[in-house]
Structure 1
Amino acid sequence: MQLSIAFVFSSLLTLAVASPVERSVDTVRIPITKRGDFTAEDGTVDPQALRAHLTRRLINYQRGFAAYEQNTGKPHPLSSKELLSKRFAMPGLLRLQPVEEYMWRGSIHVGTPAQNFQVDFDTGSSDLFLPGQDCTTNCDGHSKYDPTKSSSAKDLHKTYSVSYGDGTEASGEQWTDIIIFAGYQVNGAVVGASSDYSGGLAPAQFGADGIMGMGFPEISRYNSESVVDKLLKPFASGNRIFAFRLDNDNPELTVGRLDKSLYEGDITYMPVTDEGFWQISMDTVSINGTSIAQNTPAIIDTGTTAVIGPTKDVAAFYAAIPGSKDASEEIGAGYYTIPCSSSPASNFTFGGRAFTMPGESLRGAPLGSDATRCAGNVVASDHQPFWIIGDRFLSNVFSVFDMGAKRVGFAALSDLSPDEDDDEAAAN
């Protein structure tokens, strides 16, 4: 079911206006939507959507590691020959439904005069691409970016290609232009105008127009700063931040400052260990008193719905849950089920502080073949020596991405009703 949500981008009150960032006169209150929970029309789990999402995110990391090596001249510390191979292409998944529509998205404005677009906000990548005006294959129905109608657009005379393991691809030409995002104007940001979208990015499959990455330039396939990095660079170091509250009732993205109404207590910060992805060290994962995966790398990724971990760790995770079963035949490799009647809470510890992922976040939809078994939202991946921490965990915490201090922070969510959230937003 599609949800309409008030999505507030807050302005920085103490910003000294400087190029390449200027304060926009546009509203800072922007509606966003997020679709679906990988369920079929009958309410059971959609195995194809789950498998496709896992494949796409793993290929995203494969491409990110390759871009990191190309941009820095050295391999990423978490990459491996197996991960960089094409084994994750999974030819059997080429016809499966892609699932970027499950990501968080909202509005940005590009060019002069402004052209309006919906984009997915993805901390697991760094580039912005949109359908270009000349794109007709799978682009009709999307809003299209036409740089020839923007007086601020400049052609970089560079091409790009973005591809994923399920066959989804976009390719086109790189431009620089004005981007208005979160109430701020960013001059000279790189945007890809796609001349080709594959079927996975067609409007029926992909709810947004494009993707806006929010990672570091080291993983950019354009070898460029992300829009948010370029936006925040002139800010004072303590304000070079953006933060997400991703619960379904009160989702919000704040840029340039922290909205203290959205969280309570202290924020626990962890340093980014390798710039590129938002990569930090995770102390441990535990469930039902069993500790798993001590002192392991973790990448914080709003573009991934599930939590994905190494095969051995995830097997130990489910071994600690009574009644859990391997679901590789029913769903796909790496998936497990838990009893639908159970709600085992798990703890993810960062910076010495445990944050809980409750049972309802771990428990997905029931199998079509057995309504007593529900898909688990912690998924295993071979040849992956790190964890990917996606929305199933992030929806339970307030998450801060600090580009100035190169750190990630987590805090407990405050208790907000929708009416209170609206009042706070209006007051700010």
Structure 2
Amino acid sequence: MQLSIQAIIGFVVAAGLAVASELPSPMTVNLERRKMLVTKNDTVDFKAVRKQANALNYKYDKLLRNFRKNTGRDHPLLHLLLDLIDKRDGKGDVDLDDIGEGQLWAGDVQFGQSKFKIDFDTGSADTLVNPFVYFPHRSKSSRKTHHTFSTAYGDGTTASGFIYTDDLKIGGYKAKDVAIGLSVTKFINDEDNQGIAGMSFPAVQSFPKKFDPFFVALVKQKVVPEPVFQFTLKRGSGSTLHLGGIDNSRFQGELSYVDVNPEDGFWISEGKVNGKKIDACIDTGSSIIFGPIDEVREVITKMDGVTPFTAGGALHGAFDCSKPPKLDFEFAGQKFNLGENQVSFGKYQGQCVLSIMGQKNLPMNAWVVGDSFLQTASVVFDMGKNRMGFAPSSN
């Protein structure tokens, strides 16, 4: 009989109470933002925006396919699947996401003897790296699993590689036999960042079920004191991923919690944008906030001083930079107002471009909530109690 991840986590937490004094303290990983969606003069690079939006659409399409494969049913928020070729034709093959240009938050990790920066993504569940980054032959603890992965890129090319397991070191923690996918083709075009580490639930993972997402592995091996991690992202320096507990110094006031359903795979919550109810997927792997085009249009048209326009097939809003509009998100009854630096992500023809955008035919009937919101809040992801906590980030 297979136990659910929640049952395993509950058992681990209960068992851990007896040896709490032996557990390590929570650890912090410092993060750096990789890439931007604007040029040097702060002008929005709509080509880069479109490229990332397409990559995110592809990512969620594949995750929804993974969900169907792993659970035998369609995701409750499924809208439509894109017209993509499914590459899974061989035993043990798994499909992964087209990451493209790295637009995420990167920190240091070590697999075996290989050290590198990797992006931490709450919108996916697998760990994979570019070629010539992880060197399994240099590690005595490395094991080749003989399971392969494959990924299709937007330009029609493909990449493939093997899944290995090895010792993972991150933020002072160490776990054994953690899965890592080594690609033979470069999939992140950023010399300073060489991979992605998914932190969502196993229901959307591409790897076979026996290969846990890295944070789940930390929890199962009782490496972390609590099955909790916390993102605090800032526009400048000071962004962190806190593992194994809550750092109260990273936020103001009290955390407000919302329940999440781990069986859905994503960190999804009901919320509001300027009072409009939405379903929101909190995704540290997205530099943008986007939602179904009709919902975004409804929000934009009610904002004073904002003019809708279309660029790259997406709906945007423009406004006078000296008169930023009111844009707030609400979770668990707590409002988060996007400040002057968050309400816009760049300029276009002398005006500021609103940090939310709308798209047609999204794979999922939900908003993907990324950077602009996350720079206003400290967010706690609690796998033990299946919830997310939100509070305004400290100055």
Specify the SS of the correspondent of 2:63.
helix
Instruction: Give TM-score scaled by structure 1 length.
Output: 0.77
State how far apart, in whole Å, the 1-side matches of 2:164 and 2:35 are.
33
2:177 paired residue number: 188
1:92 paired residue number: none
- CA apart distance, 1:85: 3.4
Q: Does 1:365 align with 2:346?
A: yes
Shift, 1:159, TM fit: 0.8
Q: Is the 8 A contact 2:297 2:358 kept in 1?
A: yes
Q: Is the 8 A contact 2:131 2:186 kept in 1?
A: no
Which residue is equivalent to 2:233? 246
**Structure 1 residues 359 and 202, CA, compared in 2 at 3 Å: closer, same or farther?**
closer
1:121–1:41 Cα change, 3 Å? same
For 1:138, the equivalent position in structure 2 comes to: none
Amino acid in the other structure paired with 1:130: V
Cα displacement string for residues 272-326 of structure 1 (whole angstroms, at most 9, x for unaligned residues): 13431111222x211xxxx32x2x3211100011111111110011112234233
Amino acid paired to 2:186: Y
Could you say which residue in structure 1 is the equivalent of 2:137?
Answer: 148
The letter of the residue matching 2:391 is: A
- Residues 171 and 197 of structure 1 are in contact (CA less than 8 Å); yes or no, is this contact kept in structure 2? no
Identity of aligned residues (%): 29
Name structure 1 gaps, 5 residues minimum. 1-13, 88-96, 134-143, 416-428
Using the alignment, how far apart are the partners of 2:227 and 2:37 within structure 1?
34
Correspondence for 1:221 among 188, 206, 211? 206
CA shift digits 1:352-398 (9 cap, x unpaired): 2222222431212211xx21x22221011223421111111011001
Correspondence for 1:340 among 321, 327, 338? 321
Distance 1:22 1:177 in 2: 22
- The Cα of 1:40 is off from its aligned counterpart by 1.4
Aligned in 2, Cα 1:181/1:169: closer, same or farther, shift over 3 Å? farther
Tell me how far 1:148 sits from its aligned partner.
1.7
Task: State how far apart, in whole Å, the 2-side matches of 1:34 and 1:190 are.
Answer: 25
Deviations 1:311-358 (A, max 9, x none): 1110011112234233324x4423332222221132212222222222
- Contact (CA 8 Å) 1:60, 1:164: kept in 2 or not? no
Matched, 1:379 2:361: no
Q: Report the Cα offset of residue 117 of structure 1.
A: 1.0
Alignment-derived partner of residue 110 in structure 1? 111
Specify which of 187, 192, 199 is matched with residue 207 of structure 1: 192
Q: CA offsets per residue over residues 237-276 of structure 1, 9 Å max, x none?
A: 9821000110134211110111111112111111113431
Preserved contact between residue 289 and residue 370 of structure 2 (Cα < 8 Å): yes
SS in structure 1 at match of 2:141: coil
* Separation in structure 2 between the aligned mates of residue 217 and residue 271 of structure 1, nearest angstrom: 17
Given that 2:231 and 2:242 are in contact with CA atoms closer than 8 Å, whether structure 1 keeps it comes out as: yes
In 2, Cα distance between the equivalents of 1:35 and 1:169? 24
**2:255 paired residue number:** 267
Quick one: distance in 2 between partners of 1:167 and 1:326? 33
Output the aligned Cα RMSD: 2.9
1:106-156: CA deviation from partner (whole Å, max 9, x where unpaired): 110011xx21011011110111111244xxxxxxxxxx2111221111111
Equivalent residue runs for 1:382-393 within 5 Å: 382-384=360-362, 385-393=365-373
Task: Tell me the residue number matched to 2:83.
Answer: 85
Q: CA deviation at 1:191?
A: 0.4
Question: Following TM superposition, by how much is the alpha carbon of 1:214 offset from its aligned partner in structure 2, in angstroms?
Answer: 0.8
TM-score by length of 2: 0.83
Partner of 2:315, secondary structure, is coil
What's the secondary structure of 2:310's corresponding residue? coil
Number of residue equivalences: 361
Q: Which residue of 2 aligns with 1:33?
A: 32
3-state SS of 1:349 partner: strand
SS in 1 for 2:269: strand
Distance in 2 separating the partners of 1:23 and 1:163: 40
| Residue equivalent to 1:409 | 389
